[in-house]
Structure 1
Amino acid sequence: MFACLFTHPLDLAKVRLQTAKTPGDGLVSLAFKIVKNEGILAAYAGLSASMLRQATYSTARFGVYEQLKEFISSKSQGTPSTIELLGASMVAGAVGGLVGNPADVVNIRMQNDNSLPKAERRNYKHAIDGVYRISRTEGITALFRGLSPNLVRGVLMTASQVVSYDVAKHLLVDNLGMDPKTKTTHFSASLIAGLVATTVCSPADVLKTRIMNSSSTGDSAFAVLKTALSTEGPGFMFRGWTPAFIRLGPHTILTFIALEELRRLRLGM
């Protein structure tokens, strides 16, 4: 949630780019358009939903991963292997994707709302209002729209982000002699993790965003993928990669620096 406060405007720009039917605007030009046409506060549209998403999705995946990593370490009496870390991260990512799906649906809709015609806007007051109105008007199942690609993305994100961070950190310490407790090491390892995670997760992230933004209950992941491939080509899977990395890079750095501080202070870690 701490990281989200700084990166939310970039996340909003990423969602707008991913839901656009035709490519055109870049990150900078889109950001200027949002502020010019909708006001500077529009850069933080849907912040409550984004914070709720982090409080559910990120808390679950990081918490489960750390617990599984500790369990594996206690069983093997040593540092877990990369394969073991991947297995733990995949389980943690799936749990996070499931727990955070309702907040993710509201988050994407609130971020994309101002780009819709006025007659089509949902106008959720805040995240809880969004969850309530979706449940009431579309049914509880609507809160789990896009669950399949979200689970895939959760698995890919957690596996590529936390495992690449742990592996990069060990490589930096063992091969370059960096101090495992310094901010420089944490920054370098988390920057590598952000780059890996953005590239691995982009296709599932774009697909998830489009399904969740849709109001049609008949839009399966395969149907959305097939339509997008036929009308836009395979390049659509990496739509918004640059703003995704610009957002995920700082987000990953801030997240892991915060986690390392929690470890240092022995607060929950």
Structure 2
Amino acid sequence: MSSSLPPVSTQTPPSLPPAIAKPKKQPYPFYLGGVAATIAASITHPLDLTKVRLQASGDKRMVDSIKKTVRTAGFRGLFDGITGTWMRQMSYSLCRFWAYDESKKLLGANPQSPPWVLAAAGVMAGSIAGVVGNPGEVVMVRLQGDFAKPPEKRFNYKHCFDALFRMVREEGPSSLLRGVGPNVFRSILMNSSQLASYDFFKAELLKTKYFEDNIACHFTASFAAGTVATTVCSPADVLKSRIMNASGPGSSSTLGVIRASLAKEGPMFMFKGWVPAWTRLQPTTILIFLTLEQLKNAVDWKRGTL
């Protein structure tokens, strides 16, 4: 009796094509944060200038301070010290964004990490950037605050490099570290509040059904981050401006500035200039993160990964 079963094929079935592995996303250029911050700070420079002059001088109100600047120096006066702002952003801000990303990698942080992990990365970044960016910070504050002083007390720096060289020549290299303590403290507060809260708010918004990873989400997250950062950083910001803008011997003592300010103005001096600080930091924060996200999109587009 013959079998009705078909003959067994010995031919090997064709193999399926191997799955194409998705290429690992390359890190973004380290300088994107500095470029984004420089663009944002250039736009909001007049508000930052007004904030510094309110903190370092006897001006009482933001509008009065702006009018005084325009009256004494014209509209160009609203951009006094812009080169110091550029120097500060391309040192401090470049460093803080780079250090924040590296700190998150070191801590194994991701968009779903708890806030304290993101804040810890911000503390690490702020500690580094506060020291690296201190010379630029001193130069920026002095250039911005110069025209608020009587003519005989002005530094009369021509630009940021003139300020840097003259400070080293006339006051010694240690002048570049003037106010480094409050500046590092403020940098820690800023990065642990602004950068960490932006990541936190962005991640929380993306969990809802109302937001996608687009400009609306970036705007909302950065608005919340700017308000948090302004409130957290105000005391250290005031102290930093007053110490860096001082020029007399012994005038750079943090405790001395605190005692003198408390005796003269009371504890609320720590929040002097909060409104212009918020008015300046809010659009700056929004512009920084919107610009940074668009720069990242541009890099992705160029790489073909958008």
TM-score range, shorter chain: over 0.9
Q: Distance in 2 between matches of 1:71 and 1:111?
A: 37
Q: Distance in 2 between matches of 1:164 and 1:98?
A: 22
Native 8 Å contact 1:114 1:121 kept in 2: yes
State the shift of 1:87 in Å: 1.0
Aligned to 1:72: 107
Q: Please give the TM-score of this superposition, normalised by the length of structure 1.
A: 0.93
Q: Distance in 2 between matches of 1:69 and 1:103?
A: 25
Structure 1 gap ranges (5+): none
Alignment counterpart, residue 191 of structure 1, candidates 209, 213, 223: 223
Native 8 Å contact 2:111 2:200 kept in 1: no
Aligned to 1:19: 56
Q: Please give the TM-score of this superposition, normalised by the length of structure 2.
A: 0.82
State the shift of 1:32 in Å: 1.5
Aligned to 1:250: 283
What code does the residue aligned with 1:70 have? K
Equivalent pairs, count = 263
Aligned to 1:44: 79
Question: How do residues 86-235 of structure 1 correspond to structure 2 at under 5 angstroms?
Answer: 86-180=119-213, 182-218=214-250, 219-235=252-268
Aligned-residue Cα RMSD (Å) equals 1.7
Which consecutive aligned stretches of 4+ in structure 1 deviate over 6 angstroms post-superposition?
none
Q: Distance in 2 between matches of 1:101 and 1:52?
A: 10
State the shift of 1:171 in Å: 1.6
Larger fraction in helix: 1
Percent sequence identity is: 43
Q: 1:184 to 1:77 in 2, by over 3 A?
A: closer
State the shift of 1:235 in Å: 1.0
State the shift of 1:176 in Å: 4.8
Alignment counterpart, residue 29 of structure 1, candidates 64, 67, 86: 64
What are the Cα deviations for residues 210-256 of structure 1, in whole angstroms up to 9, with x where unaligned? 00000124131111011100111011100100000110000000100
Structure 2 gap ranges (5+): 1-37
Q: Distance in 2 between matches of 1:86 and 1:12?
A: 28
Q: Distance in 1 between matches of 2:188 and 2:66?
A: 30
What code does the residue aligned with 1:213 have? N
Q: Distance in 2 between matches of 1:161 and 1:16?
A: 23
